[in-house]
């Protein structure tokens, strides 16, 4: 487990541009070394800003997005055309624009009979590709310290024999979701937390201050080689 590194940027726009640029830089380096990088993306508002910056900056980056494997850290278990689908937003924000072709969406209600079956199917797909050999996992953080769809006090926090699980009764709507587990997330070489706004400041301080993972799930994730908290000033204001 790597020691967390903290980067504080003036505002969400600077944060989004920095993260997008760093991601493209890492992907280009990996491809130059003959590696097909695997990343996991997240939902949420700062992620959306970052994704739009990736689309803007990618043409100059030299990254071949047909040689990047894209996974999702979590997804809402809703209809495929629902505006709640993270994959729908992520495709619109950058995946379609950059020409990504190796994108593994989590099942929707059209793909699986229930959320647990959907999680089982996604875990099987992950295992076909190495079982979560993520180079970079990007995670937004909720005001309650949740990451992906791992919420405080939920039983999924204690699941250590599966890499993806179903969630029902999510405190953040919609209620049904599929999420990677700590087991999967902590396999990543690099974990990047993407956090903007004063509403997250307490959760950021708690996560970095050694909070229990059952109270602040963000405290339960670290990369094997790198853990970086990309913050804006507001999100860093309680540090």
Residues with Cβ < 8 Å from 228, sequence gap 6 or more? 4, 5, 6, 7, 190, 191, 192, 193
Residue from the set 15, 30, 39, 46 that interacts with ligand 6PG by CB under 6 A = 46
CA–CA dist 45, 188 (Å, integer): 23
Least gap, CB of 45 to ligand 6PG (angstroms): 4
Q: Which is nearer to ligand 6PG, 38 or 179 (CB)?
A: 179
Q: Which is nearer to ligand 6PG, 26 or 51 (CB)?
A: 51
Least gap, CB of 76 to ligand 6PG (angstroms): 6
Q: Which is nearer to ligand 6PG, 99 or 199 (CB)?
A: 199
Ranges within 78-107 binding ligand 6PG (CB under 6 A): 86
Least gap, CB of 67 to ligand 6PG (angstroms): 25
* Contact string (CB under 6 A) for ligand 6PG, positions 114-143, x = contact: --------------------------xxx-
Residue from the set 74, 116, 135, 176 that interacts with ligand 6PG by CB under 6 A = 74
Residues with Cβ < 8 Å from 169, sequence gap 6 or more? 175
Residue from the set 25, 91, 104, 172 that interacts with ligand 6PG by CB under 6 A = 172
CA–CA dist 44, 49 (Å, integer): 9
Instruction: Phi first, then psi: give them for residue 170, nearest 5 degrees.
Output: -55, 135
Least gap, CB of 230 to ligand 6PG (angstroms): 12
Least gap, CB of 49 to ligand 6PG (angstroms): 9
Token code pair at residue 37: 């990088």
The residue of the chain with the least Cβ separation from ligand 6PG equals 140
Residue from the set 45, 66, 82, 168 that interacts with ligand 6PG by CB under 6 A = 45
Class of residue 166 by CB neighbours under 10 A (exposed 0-12, middle 13-18, buried 19+): buried
Between the CA of residue 214 and those of 2, 42, 163, 233, what are the distances in Å?
20, 20, 18, 26
Longest CA pairwise span in the chain (Å): 45
């Amino acid at each position: 487990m790597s020691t967390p590194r903290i980067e504080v940027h003036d505002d969400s726009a600077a944060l989004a541009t920095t993260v997008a640029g760093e991601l493209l830089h890492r992907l280009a380096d990996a491809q130059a070394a003959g590696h097909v990088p695997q990343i996991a993306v997240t939902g949420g508002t700062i992620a959306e800003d970052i994704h739009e910056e990736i689309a803007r900056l990618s043409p100059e980056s030299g990254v071949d997005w047909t040689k990047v494997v894209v996974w999702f850290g979590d997804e809402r278990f809703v209809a495929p055309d629902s505006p709640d689908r993270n994959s729908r937003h992520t495709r619109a924000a950058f995946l379609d624009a950059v020409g990504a072709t190796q994108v593994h969406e989590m099942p929707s209600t059209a793909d699986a009979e229930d959320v647990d079956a959907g999680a089982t199917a996604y875990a099987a797909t992950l295992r076909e590709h190495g079982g979560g050999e993520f180079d970079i996992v990007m995670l937004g953080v909720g005001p309650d310290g949740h990451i992906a769809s791992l919420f405080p006090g939920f039983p999924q926090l204690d699941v250590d024999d599966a890499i993806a699980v179903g969630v029902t009764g999510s405190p953040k709507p919609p209620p049904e979701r599929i999420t990677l587990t700590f087991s999967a997330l902590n396999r990543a070489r690099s974990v990047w937390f993407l956090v903007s706004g004063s509403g997250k400041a307490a959760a950021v301080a708690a996560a970095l201050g050694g909070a229990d993972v059952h109270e602040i799930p963000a405290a339960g994730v670290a990369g094997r080689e790198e853990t970086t908290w990309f913050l804006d000033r507001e999100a860093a204001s309680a540090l």
